[in-house]
Amino acid sequence: MMEVRVLIVEDEALLAMAMEDGLEELGYAVVGTAATAAEAVRMARDLNPRVVLMDVRLKGAADGVDAALAIRDAGLEAKVIFVTGSREPVVLKRIADDHPAGLLFKPVSPEEIGAAIEVALA
């Protein structure tokens, strides 16, 4: 079975590291971690991951939803799974507008992320 390539978009370095570790252990190939929306879009284009784990709050003006929309507009195949710490209605509404492949709320275990990835790719 081919390794599933995953891009992590998360501006907190330790959190990104922990997710990377956990996913690697579960057998996923983490191709990179991005901390800003622009970086996320660029890396999604360059690295061609199958799954993007997208935090909503990011460094800089643009947030994860902006990045997800840009990725889709660029015609990329990557499935976007949001991993957010916020449940504010405004944010949830914007996420829903993007019709993501998955939505997880922090705190989240690597196993839960793995399960969501399987659902998204099924």
Residues contributing to the site for other proteins (CB under 8 A)? 12, 14-15, 17-19, 21-22, 25, 85-88, 105-112, 114-115
Q: Which is nearer to other proteins, 75 or 89 (CB)?
A: 89
118: number of Cβ within 10 Å? 11
Q: Which is nearer to other proteins, 93 or 106 (CB)?
A: 106
Q: What minimum distance in Å lies between the beta carbon of 74 and other proteins?
A: 29
Q: What minimum distance in Å lies between the beta carbon of 25 and other proteins?
A: 6
What is the C-alpha to C-alpha distance for residues 114 and 62, in angstroms, rounded to an integer? 27
Q: What minimum distance in Å lies between the beta carbon of 45 and other proteins?
A: 27
Helix (H, G, I), strand (E, B) or coil at 79: strand
What is the C-alpha to C-alpha distance for residues 99 and 1, in angstroms, rounded to an integer? 28
Determine contact, residues 55/39, Cβ cutoff 8 Å: no
Q: Which is nearer to other proteins, 75 or 107 (CB)?
A: 107
Determine contact, residues 90/111, Cβ cutoff 8 Å: no
What is the C-alpha to C-alpha distance for residues 33 and 59, in angstroms, rounded to an integer? 13
Q: What minimum distance in Å lies between the beta carbon of 71 and other proteins?
A: 23
Q: Which is nearer to other proteins, 93 or 105 (CB)?
A: 105
